[in-house]
Chain A
């Protein structure tokens, strides 16, 4: 008898896991094999993933479409013969023993993702089988709130939302305020472009988050929790709903949990997808039914948070760490990571990375280690240019600094921030000016509109960047960007505004020549900004079909049929039509070759 698991997180589903699951369902029917689903195991680049579990032996197949599912079922499950070509990872007795992507998982250390990909997230039983709710039991029955907090302080766990504030300390603040009503808030409003750590945790192991919140409630004296989750995460919300309902049914939530006399309820609050609602005071306003806008601190949330009551707010990943720490002890947690940044961190690898997905590693591993050791380097073997960390609030770390250890101490020195764990990788075809423009465009759209600098200042910066990418930049523009960027950072109320210029400032710090190439030479070295590139035809790829020449509105393309065509750069108006019409990817852009003015 085999257990067949299909990865059914959002990443798997979007790769077609539903169809895979359906076809397996038909095959399994009537057999003694068991079909179930699980969360994201991290190898999003190989989705849909199907695991065949036979006792201690786990075999994970990648890119399993309907056809391959049938093949695997018939050959492996029924026939008992493995299909090594499709195996991405194999493990026996808890030890990795093969598969094309063995190193992807092998090199990780999994605390937060301890259950992701292993259990059915909609099965409380499976969670319990892996020690689920034991930490809660301990926290409620065996140790005092003070001991919970001191355990957390011992662990050195720092907020995984990005700021890295010591969690134990934060809890102790809130515990210190007297109030008949207090709240625990779980920030599941993950909004950074390219970040999906929290979603994966919620989809793969929702009970871990609930447990973290219950323990927090006990520690600070709160009986009520909110999970503020963006409505764009319907699957996460669904799994949370299932988890809450199961936990309530089992008595893990509600009145008098474990007979401890402690009661705790959790409600999911769906956000409308405003990025600023990741800012805790704005998030609170949104929970209260007000427009999501940041409020002034002080008073701090620990004193007056949701509905003016003492509130402790942590993000999903932070809470997911808590049960592990309570079960294994703070000191055990410290075995991972560095002295000042203990523990592990989940990263979402995205962009031009070869193996996009989730990776959890100890803090302090280098960028190179994560991107190349786990992520397999750059797509299509291109050159690594930079990695963007911390989303729109963060910054770019250039390839030169790839030996930087990833932790709360070293990343900020580069001008970027740790952030919540999104790593957007860029190759040599990424234009840094355009990248800065992209992030600024995002923050400008997502600014709540309250503060002058953030509301109008970011637009003025964005307009300047747009001008630069159109080739209308002037040398003074970089000074303007730097100066206004600094001012926006200095005079904004919340983190969004205070960090909005970061992507611009950090790219200007490392890629000034790229800016100047745009401004002075009207050329985009990465070949990305359409107005500032030359379109050329790669002889080897051109079949001489002539479609491009026909589509060119200015007759800048000429050639003889069946021989490579040529673009007259002087005549070209950079409309890009040829590029879209070419069926052979033979048209390419390079930075405009114009003599320095």
Chain B
């Protein structure tokens, strides 16, 4: 092809005419141009204006996606002006993007824990994954699950519905679950450099966790006997058992951290030593120095004990405390001290606090528990002095009453002493618990590396880099910056420090926080927006009784039950966006440094549309790129989506602004893939919604014979969804995309079962095989091999069908193998063998695109074969092809069809035969030329007897229409006939042969005529080649004479109908589900069934063995265009045994040696097929040869006499899923999961 020379960024490039600038830039990898509205599958649209570039000679910037190349053009793809314009475009889009990239709980958590994500995983029952997700940001989930102050819950949106989700309690449930700490954390290979960490509290442990995982060798120096810091020595065991701490410390150790306990830095080793030994040092010594009451005599009065010291002392040594204890303070420490004292024998415990209960910083639940335990609380009381006994010991605490005055800087009302209200509070112990501070004296004394310390004796640090004033020395936790806070803040510090140290050691920049948008930027959504959500009260934490708490340190809170946990997970509103990881708007905003607030102004707020059973549309996230609309236009003759309103008020809305579910939407979900921002998202077949990492696995779909490539994205066991291959131009239909619901929600058969009377009992696989083999063999012995049969649904893999065929013939000695579904259609084996010499599509799908006349006979492409339908629509709308659809019912392509023919059911063949006759009569097909063709004379002799008006009478199609169709055929240059060979509805006897005749006649006239045969059953084309047919053995080898049983489908069907089959093995078919086919089994004496779901047939079977779905097993299938397509086991099969393995097991019991492994079976079948040369093998099997048909064959006198075929039932679970969708519409399939 001629190329044209253009210049991009000063570089000469050869481009092809018709290419756009964007295409050329992408092809030659000259730059990465951002774009939101462009998609390689769609025509240029140019609305987002992100892809702008400079074009010499043009004053304006031009959208590169829509600018075609022309010779000599000069383009610049990046400079300040362009980048600014792109940034502005992003900022404008963001200014009207009322959405949450992440949930408020995640934003609210100082450590940034993905709350929505772990709730989702917990709800799916995957606690290990949930724990791992938490540990990506917080290595102490078990500890936090007990003692966290729950900043996440404070900002939970659910508060505006009823109460916040019990996030922390679910977290505890997760870490209490078995197996969560069993594995060794995954660690990057050691980088050979160590990091010193001073202090084994939450900050130090967290830093060590991350550094260890990233391949550094962290060494923790802990002065106390065990790691944990305040967690262990500041929080009593009844709240946080030591085993929990040990569990997590141990897990951190397994991530590579060395923990040296009983080593005090500054005493046992100096900071300077550490600086010398390690690549970097993190200081997290905490703040364990308790503050006093600032009253005279407190330091030298026995009985006055600092609260934290008391906790430390009692931590591992719960010796009794007798008498009356007064605890001074209102924080968690004060409460802990009081409850500790109560537990070790204090007769009376009083907490005094200078404000009121409402202002106490302690966790309200803890206060309530404390009061429940009998501790007294004196509000508005402060200590002013100490009253000593004569012996100098404590007699009483002198207190003063307070009143609340004006609010102070913290916003709380300041307590003011009430003059003259002093009183003595007699006591044996006074325990001030009013705050702590770091103690750094010993640590820093004489160190060359002593960093700057603030006047609150905390380390002075840069809070973004966690750096102290000394290079290589970092600090965090209670000892840094603003002093003591809560556990999660220390964890956040440790995480931040680890990132900073990691970057420091690598000499890199600390990665920036991801760009995010949250609704709070405009306004917290509040009740108005959430009003529709029904209330659902929060579950309470379970506690042991007060009586059970006396004198011991048993954990008070006992955790959630499973139902509590799922209830809370279900309450999650899933605020964060599922598209977080791939939202182009977010990613580009990050890349271009967009400022969310730059163009802040009016923002449109919309209701999220959740009415569609499969889709969620959030107009707030829509950026009006119209990719969904343009995609929908490719799928449907008339798009279900459109734009309404003008200006800023423009919106993407379903047609007529109806709910999407009420439009012509067929729920194919291709709009989901088209959307760059997550405005259209799928509903999932599993519970819960969050942006979770998925493991993608490529395979193919086996719901119809197109066998589209798919990606199976597994979130967790039992939770997966299906998407397209990801290759531009690949689409999916509804069934392919959403069939996961079928597999996830159906009742699976998970273990083999036998039936005795009405009783089903489980049994092992081996036993099941024995039982099945025995039953079948018994029948062979009793009634002869012709009385047993193997039935299978033609969506099984080639390998499964091959095994089934061998099992029947070699294992049971019968030729009775076939599909009841196929038997019932009445189509004989090798239906086109007499016409073409083979039975397969004569061309691949590219013929559709090339055709100027497309004839769809006996199928409704949109309903049944959407992906082919899209190619047809494309050929018609874009390629200008003409389209004739034939069918007795309304066809969904009527709107784009040039001509719709509606013969009475069963009379299509007659109509086409008449049309051919007409073309012969008009001499379009010359008689003498026909006479010279194979079978020509006989064909001519069997002239269609009807004239036009009679044709109209017998077919019901207006003569004018047949005339018009004939003249369209006569004018065409490339004709392709698409015909479903196994669709019972509308099937007319002989119509496949008639269409073959048409193709042959056209070819004979030099017109390209092709026949494409998409089976509705996924592997209809594989049945004969794999040998699962009474006429053909594997490799399509005709059956030899020496074997018992039927010789044709017709014969097998009549044997079945007449009750001659006494025992059968049924694979994947469900004949018991409908009366018509169930009646065939009246005389059955033994039935074995293999299926992945529980069906009526497996219920009825004497032995039922679980099989695998197409997602769960490797295998190959023949698609409609004669390619052998391979399938992968993308998902684990619940029973652990795949269908082909079951067949191998059965074969072994029947004394047949197959396998041993899948590859061997597959290779054997492949060899068998290739070793049996036959006509046009390359059109049926992957032979490596070009797929082409020479156009020769024989004209056949087809039996076209009018005879309506019955409308047949669905024969398998999958086919029922497909056909019911057509019958009842989308509503029926509303997925239960709340989103």
Determine the chain A residues whose CB is within 8 A of the CB of B68 once the complex forms: 298
Asked if A444 meets B89 with Cβ closer than 8 Å, knowing A291-B642, A491-B52, A491-B61, the reply is: no
Interface string of B93-136 (1 = CB under 8 A from A): 10110000000000000000000000000000000000000000
A448/B49 contact (C-beta < 8 A), A460-B95, A487-B88, A490-B85 known = no
Contact B63 A444 (CB under 8 A): no
Q: Which of A446, A491, A493, A498 contacts B89 (CB 8 A)?
A: A491
Contact A452 B650 (CB under 8 A): no
CA distance A450 to B627 in the complex (A): 12
Contact A489 B60 (CB under 8 A): yes
| A459 contacts the other chain (CB 8 A) | yes
Alpha-carbon distance between A578 and B109 when the two chains are bound, in angstroms: 56
The answer to whether A449 and B66 touch (CB under 8 A), given A487-B85, A487-B88, A491-B52, is no
Given contacts A450-B624, A451-B49, whether A445 and B646 have CB atoms under 8 Å apart is yes
Complex contact B599–A456 (CB within 8 A): yes
| A333 part of interface (Cβ distance < 8 Å) | no
Chain A interface: which of B40-48, B777-785, B937-945, B1017-1025? B40-48
Q: Tell me whether A455 and B63 are in contact in the complex, defined as CB-CB below 8 angstroms, given that A490-B85, A491-B89 are known contacts.
A: no
Docked complex Cα distance between A462 and B138 (Å)? 46
- Tell me the chain A residues, 428-472 only, with Cβ under 8 Å from chain B: 444-453, 455-460, 463
Asked whether B513 is an interface residue with its Cβ less than 8 Å from the other chain, the reply is no
CB pair B47 A493 closer than 8 Å: yes
Task: Please determine whether A451 and B47 come into contact, CB atoms closer than 8 angstroms.
Answer: yes
* A439 nearest CB across to chain B (Å): 14
Would B646 and A296 count as touching, CB distance under 8 A? no
Q: Is the CB of A449 within 8 A of B44?
A: no
Interface size on A, residues (CB 8 A): 31
A424 to B95: give the CA distance in the assembly, Å. Answer: 34
What range describes how many residues of B lie at the interface? 35 or more
Contact, CB under 8 Å: A296 / B85: no
Q: Is B643 an interface residue (CB 8 A)?
A: yes
B49 engages A445 (CB within 8 Å): no
Give the distance in Å from the alpha carbon of A493 to the alpha carbon of B645 in the complex.
18
Known: A449-B647, A463-B601, A491-B61. A456 touches B95 (CB 8 A): yes
By a CB distance below 8 angstroms, the chain A residues around B647 are 444-447, 449, 455, 458-459
Contacts of B85 in A (CB 8 A): 487, 490-491
Pick the contact of A291 from B50, B61, B643 — CB < 8 Å?
B643
Rounded to whole angstroms, the CA-CA distance of A457 and B646 in the bound complex is: 14
Q: Report chain B residues within 8 Å CB of A445.
A: 646-647
Chain A residues with CB under 8 A of B59 = 490
The reply to whether A444 and B49 contact each other, CB–CB distance below 8 Å, is no
Residue of B nearest to A444 (CB): B647
Task: Tell whether A296 pairs with B46 under 8 Å between CB atoms, given A291-B643, A452-B89, A487-B88.
Answer: yes
> Whole-angstrom distance between the alpha carbons of A489 and B59 in the complex?
10
Q: Determine if A492 is an interface residue (Cβ-Cβ < 8 Å).
A: yes
Whether the pair A455, B52 counts as a contact (CB closer than 8 A) is no
Which residues from 72 to 95 on chain B have a C-beta closer than 8 Å to any C-beta of chain A? Answer: 84-85, 88-89, 92-93, 95
Q: Which residues A292-329 have CB closer than 8 A to chain B?
A: 293, 296, 298
Q: Is A572 an interface residue (CB 8 A)?
A: no
Which B residues between 34 and 58 are near A, CB-CB below 8 angstroms? 44-50, 52
Is A296 a contact of B44 with CB atoms below 8 Å?
A: yes
By the criterion CB–CB under 8 Å, are A455 and B643 in contact?
no
- Tell me if A274 is interfacial: C-beta within 8 Å of chain B: yes
| B602 contacts partner chain A, Cβ-Cβ < 8 Å | yes
CB distance from A526 to the nearest CB of B (A): 26
Q: Please tell me if the beta carbons of A452 and B47 are within 8 angstroms of each other in the complex.
A: yes
Q: For the complex, is A242 an interface residue (Cβ under 8 Å from B)?
A: no
Chain A residues within 8 Å of B88, by CB: 453, 457, 484, 487, 491
Kindly list chain B residues whose C-beta atoms are within 8 Å of the C-beta of A448.
646, 650
A490: chain B residues at CB < 8 Å are 52, 59-61, 85
Contact present for B46 and A460 (CB under 8 Å): no
- Greatest chain A CB density within 10 A among B48, B60, B85, B647 is at B647
* B49 engages A491 (CB within 8 Å): yes
Q: Which of B46, B93, B624, B642 contacts A493 (CB 8 A)?
A: B46
CB atoms of A449 and B601 under 8 A apart: no
| Cross-chain contact B47 with A450 (CB below 8 angstroms) | yes
- The reply to whether A456 and B646 contact each other, CB–CB distance below 8 Å, is no
Flag if A463 contacts B646 (CB, 8 Å): no
A449 and B646 contact, Cβ closer than 8 Å, known pairs A457-B92, A463-B602, A490-B60: yes
Q: Given the complex, which residues of A lie within 8 Å of B66, measured CB to CB?
A: 296
The interface residues of chain A lying within 8 Å CB-to-CB of B63 are 296, 491, 493
Most buried by B among A274, A445, A446, A449: A449
Of A448, A459, A463, A484, chain B has the most CB atoms within 10 Å of the CB of A459
Question: Min CB distance, A505 to chain B, in Å?
Answer: 14
Are A459 and B49 in contact, with the CB atoms below 8 A? no
Point out the residues of chain B lying under 8 angstroms from A446, CB to CB.
Answer: 646-647
CA of A455 to CA of B93, assembled, Å:
9
Q: Check B60 against A498 for contact (C-beta < 8 Å).
A: yes
- Chain A residues, Cβ within 8 Å of B649: 449
Instruction: Closest B residue to A290 by CB, please name it.
Output: B642
- Expressed in whole angstroms, the Cα–Cα distance for A498 and B63 within the complex equals 13
Q: Which residue of A lies closest to B48 (CB)?
A: A452
By a CB distance below 8 angstroms, the chain A residues around B648 are 444, 447, 449, 455-456, 458-459
Determine which residue in A445, A460, A491, A493 has the highest number of CB atoms from chain B within 10 A of its CB, and name it.
Answer: A491
A478-497 vs B, Cβ < 8 Å mask (1 yes, 0 no)? 00000010010111110000
List residues of B (1179-1228) whose CB comes within 8 Å of A's CBs.
Answer: none
Q: How far is the CB of A389 from chain B (nearest CB, A)?
A: 21
Q: How far is the CB of B46 from chain A (nearest CB, A)?
A: 5
Q: For the complex, give the distance between the alpha carbons of A498 and B44 in Å.
A: 19
The answer to whether B602 touches A459, judged by C-beta atoms less than 8 angstroms apart, is yes
Kindly provide the distance from the CB of B617 to the nearest chain A CB, expressed in whole angstroms: 17
Decide: B646 and A491 in contact? CB cutoff 8 A: no
Complex CA gap A455/B648 in Å reads 5
Q: What is the CB-to-nearest-CB distance from A292 to chain B, in angstroms, rounded to a whole number?
A: 9
Hey, which chain B residues are within 8 Å of A447, CB to CB?
A: 646-648, 650
CB pair A456–B92 under 8 Å, yes or no, is yes
* CB-nearest residue of chain B to A296: B66
Cβ–Cβ < 8 Å partners of B650 in chain A: 447-450, 455
Report the bound CA distance from A457 to B84 in whole Å: 14
- B89 contacts A449, CB within 8 Å? no
B649 nearest in chain A by CB position: A449
Task: Give the CA-CA distance A310 to B599 in the complex, in Å.
Answer: 42
Closest residue of B by beta carbon distance from A497:
B49
Given A446-B647, A490-B60: A460 and B92 within 8 A (CB)? Answer: yes
- With both chains docked as a complex, state the minimum distance between the C-beta of A135 and any C-beta of chain B, in angstroms: 38
> Do residues A274 and B48 form an inter-chain contact, with CB atoms below 8 A?
no
- Give chain A residues whose Cβ lies under 8 Å from the Cβ of B60: 489-491, 498
CA distance A446 to B84 in the complex (A): 26
User: In the complex, which residue of chain B has the Cβ closest to the Cβ of A484?
Assistant: B88
Nearest Cβ on chain A to B1091's Cβ, whole angstroms: 49
Q: Would you call B646 and A453 a contact (CB within 8 A)?
A: no
In the assembled complex, which residues on chain B have CB atoms less than 8 Å from the CB atom of A457?
Answer: 88, 92, 599
Contact A456 B46, beta carbon cutoff 8 Å: no
Q: How far is the CB of A120 from chain B (nearest CB, A)?
A: 38
Closest B-chain residue to A276, C-beta based?
A: B646
Contacts of A453 in B (CB 8 A): 49, 88-89, 92
Chain A residues, Cβ within 8 Å of B626: 450
Contacts of A455 in B (CB 8 A): 624, 647-648, 650
Nearest-neighbour CB distance to chain A for B58, whole angstroms, equals 10
Residues 181-211 of B contacting A (Cβ, < 8 Å): none
With A451-B47, A493-B63 already in contact, 19 other A-B pairs whose C-beta atoms are closer than 8 Å:
A298-B68, A444-B647, A444-B648, A446-B646, A449-B647, A449-B648, A451-B49, A452-B48, A452-B50, A452-B89, A452-B93, A452-B623, A453-B92, A455-B647, A455-B648, A459-B601, A490-B61, A491-B49, A498-B60
The 10 nearest A-B residue pairs measured at CB: A449-B650, A456-B92, A296-B66, A491-B49, A459-B648, A447-B647, A463-B601, A450-B47, A460-B599, A490-B60
6 cross-chain CB contacts under 8 A = A444-B647, A447-B650, A451-B48, A453-B88, A456-B96, A456-B599
